[in-house]
Amino acid sequence: MDIIPEQQPFLQEIDQSLFTRKVARLSMLRLDVIHKHVSGNKWYKLKENIRLCQQKEIIKLLTFGGGYSNHLAATAAMANISGLQSVGVVRGRYDTLTPTLRFCIDNGMQLHFVSFEEYKQKDNPTYIHELASQFNYPFIIPEGGANEEGRVGAEEIACYIPDDFTHITVSVGTGTTMVGIVNATQSIVTGFAPMKGGAYIEGEVKQYIETAKHQSYTVKDLWHFGGFGKSTNDLITFMNEFYMQNNIPLDMVYTAKMMWGVKDCIHKGEYPTNAKILCIHTGGLQGNSSIAEKLIYK
Ligand SMILES: *Cc1c(COP(=O)(O)O)cnc(C)c1O
């Protein structure tokens, strides 16, 4: 069975009227609209994994994530719509389930809670082998969908990016999505890391970049707002203002921090005034549940 998005991504212009400095064009690629439950980049990263799984006639997926992980939620939903079983190896124990974990269970995901210590072994082949035998040899997807299928799947996002954009911005977690985009476009790509010290991702992903094409990319980590998953009142105010101006809902963990960073970079003159910048909305709106009462949108 082929899985198709509910809605095609589209481009939307971003209002720069309140910006102190402007660029020739600032647009957003709305990947957040493609599916109610598998929004944004997760769709593309998981697509090829599901395809491979089906090709190998494996009926179960296993992956990893924390209690608020967009990847875990997306995997549960995508397995569900593809008729596959799923197992989520969850970092830490929870007395009460987070909305994300509740969503995973509602989508038929079997949750396997492990200690922080055990979770650290998630990429250790011996541990993976033990998990595989325990769960009857599922198809294993690393945390964040960070594998070859994920990177190749993310290249498809480039189909929605017109050639005349000189710059592309994307939020990075594992950097998998950014690699796909860098490998499939000619534009200058900036990755915005939403965690402290996240600029190291730039070096981590280097091995996956097809250097023959001389793509230019950097990862910036100035706009972490206290760390991964953390937010401030200023960030939430920015999200509400951005929504009022553009009618675009941003997520607190990734895309809001990226857009703040983009605005700041434009303000500081880091992009030339003739730049045509495309910002990718990677989705992740389920991550707003913890600040829902402070937002003017859902
Ligand atoms: C998971 C996620 C990312 C990070 O994607 P990577 O491919 O791991 O870099 C970015 N934005 C959103 C909204 C996400 O959910």
Query: What count of Cα atoms within 13 Å lies in the side-chain half-sphere of residue 259?
Result: 31
Residue 168's φ and ψ, nearest 5 degrees, are -130, 140
Ligand 1 pocket, 75 CB below 6 A? Answer: no
Mean pLDDT, range 3-21, rounded to an integer: 91
Query: Residue 5: pLDDT band by 50, 70, 90 thresholds?
Result: confident
Ligand 1 pocket, 153 CB below 6 A? Answer: no
In the reported structure, the alpha carbon of residue 12 is separated from the centroid of ligand 1 by a whole-number distance in angstroms of 20
Ligand 1 pocket, 282 CB below 6 A? Answer: yes
The two three-digit tokens of residue 285, written as one number: 């709106």
Mean pLDDT, range 153-181, rounded to an integer: 97
Ligand 1 pocket, 284 CB below 6 A? Answer: yes
In the reported structure, the alpha carbon of residue 69 is separated from the centroid of ligand 1 by a whole-number distance in angstroms of 10
pLDDT at 4: 77
Mean pLDDT, range 267-288, rounded to an integer: 96
Q: Is the pLDDT of residue 28 over 90?
A: yes
Ligand 1 pocket, 176 CB below 6 A? Answer: yes
Q: Which tens digit of pLDDT belongs to each residue from 92-126? A: 999 999 999 999 999 999 999 999 999 999 999 99
pLDDT at 214: 61
Ligand 1 pocket, 286 CB below 6 A? Answer: no
In the reported structure, the alpha carbon of residue 252 is separated from the centroid of ligand 1 by a whole-number distance in angstroms of 12
Atom number in ligand 1 closest to CA 171: 10
Ligand 1 pocket, 275 CB below 6 A? Answer: no
pLDDT at 18: 86
Ligand 1 pocket, 41 CB below 6 A? Answer: yes
Q: Is the pLDDT of residue 12 over 80?
A: yes
- Residues 259/235, Cβ–Cβ less than 8 Å: no
Atom number in ligand 1 closest to CA 40: 13
pLDDT at 112: 98
Atom number in ligand 1 closest to CA 71: 1
Q: Is the pLDDT of residue 136 over 90?
A: yes
pLDDT at 29: 98
Tell me how far apart the alpha carbons of residues 69 and 51 are, in angstroms, rounded to a whole number: 22
Mean pLDDT of the chain: 95
Ligand 1 pocket, 71 CB below 6 A? Answer: yes
Query: What count of Cα atoms within 13 Å lies in the side-chain half-sphere of residue 196?
Result: 5
- Residues 132/138, Cβ–Cβ less than 8 Å: yes
Give the residue, 214 or 41, on which the prediction is more confident: 41
Mean pLDDT, range 271-287, rounded to an integer: 96
- Residues 34/7, Cβ–Cβ less than 8 Å: yes
pLDDT at 2: 59
Atom number in ligand 1 closest to CA 191: 9
Query: Residue 290: pLDDT band by 50, 70, 90 thresholds?
Result: confident
Ligand 1 pocket, mutate which of 31, 44, 103, 171 (most atoms under 8 A from CB) = 171
pLDDT at 39: 86
Q: Which tens digit of pLDDT belongs to each residue from 211-242? A: 766 679 999 999 999 999 999 999 999 999 99
Ligand 1 pocket, 183 CB below 6 A? Answer: no
Tell me how far apart the alpha carbons of residues 89 and 8 are, in angstroms, rounded to a whole number: 31
pLDDT at 211: 76
Q: Which tens digit of pLDDT belongs to each residue from 194-217? A: 999 999 999 999 999 987 666 799
Percent of the chain with pLDDT over 90: 92
Query: Residue 52: pLDDT band by 50, 70, 90 thresholds?
Result: very high
Concatenated DSSP letters of 207-258: GGS-GGG---EEEE-S--TTSTT---HHHHHHHHHHHHHH--PPPTTTHHHH
- Residues 183/213, Cβ–Cβ less than 8 Å: yes
Atom number in ligand 1 closest to CA 253: 13
pLDDT at 213: 64
Ligand 1 pocket, 175 CB below 6 A? Answer: yes
Residue 236's φ and ψ, nearest 5 degrees, are -65, -40
In the reported structure, the alpha carbon of residue 202 is separated from the centroid of ligand 1 by a whole-number distance in angstroms of 15
pLDDT at 142: 98
pLDDT at 289: 87
